[in-house]
């Protein structure tokens, strides 16, 4: 029994090492601009942050803050792309001329959140 449990521990450690080597821990420790903006906003006034972003149960404020920042950035990027598609692609696309929208959202997701229009 002792050998079986030892073997199970060794196998589990081996697989966790392989997963980490293959990129299982990809974005650990790297915060995007939306995350950084929400962290600074939460640090400034935690009670106001929770009141602004938390759901009706008082939970998930940080997740909702990040989502709101990213959605606001996507909305702004869509407007910018519609205004002049060629200039948008020239400004944000990578060296292969691709991923312009993703790069725009990444750059603007740390910007202050614009109020959503009432629908």
Dump pLDDT digits (tens) for 42-61.
Answer: 999 999 999 999 999 999 99
**Claim: this prediction has a pTM higher than 0.75:** no
**How much is the mean pLDDT over the chain?**
81
Q: Could you tell me if residue 67 is inside a domain?
A: yes
Task: Identify which has the larger pLDDT, 5 or 103.
Answer: 103
Tokens at 43, concatenated: 């640090």
Residue 99 within a domain? yes
Helix (H, G, I), strand (E, B) or coil at 5: helix
Each residue of 13-47: pLDDT tens digit? 555 554 444 544 555 556 789 999 999 999 999 99
Q: Is residue 16 in some structural domain?
A: no
Query: Is the model's pLDDT at 98 over the cut of 80?
Result: yes
Residue 46 within a domain: yes
Helix ranges, the chain (H): 2-21, 33-44, 46-53, 61-83, 85-92, 100-108
Q: Does some domain include residue 19?
A: no
pLDDT for position 63: 95
pLDDT of 2 over the 90 cut: no
CA-CA distance, 50 to 61, in Å (whole number)? 6
pLDDT at residue 64, rounded to an integer = 96
Sign of the dihedral defined by the CA atoms of residues 34, 71, 102, 87, in that order: negative
In a domain, 9, yes or no: no
Domain count, the chain: 1
Average pLDDT, stretch 101-109? 92
Assess if residue 119 is contained within a domain. no
**Which of 67, 62, 51 is closest to 116 using CA atoms?**
67
Residue 85 lies in a domain: yes
Counting beta carbons within 10 angstroms of the beta carbon of residue 5, is it exposed (0 to 12), middle (13 to 18) or buried (19 or more)? exposed
Q: Which domain holds residue 92?
A: 32-108
């Amino acid at each position: 029994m002792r050998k079986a449990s030892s073997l199970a521990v060794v196998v589990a450690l081996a697989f966790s090492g392989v997963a980490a080597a293959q990129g299982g821990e990809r974005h650990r420790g790297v915060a995007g601009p939306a995350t950084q903006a929400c962290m600074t906003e939460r640090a400034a006034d935690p009670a106001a942050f929770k009141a602004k972003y938390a759901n009706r149960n008082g939970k998930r404020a940080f997740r909702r803050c990040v989502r709101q920042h990213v959605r606001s950035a996507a909305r702004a990027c869509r407007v910018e792309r519609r205004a002049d598609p060629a200039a948008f692609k020239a400004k944000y696309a990578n060296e292969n001329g691709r991923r312009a929208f993703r790069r725009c959202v990444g750059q603007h997701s740390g910007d202050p959140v614009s109020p959503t229009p009432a629908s």
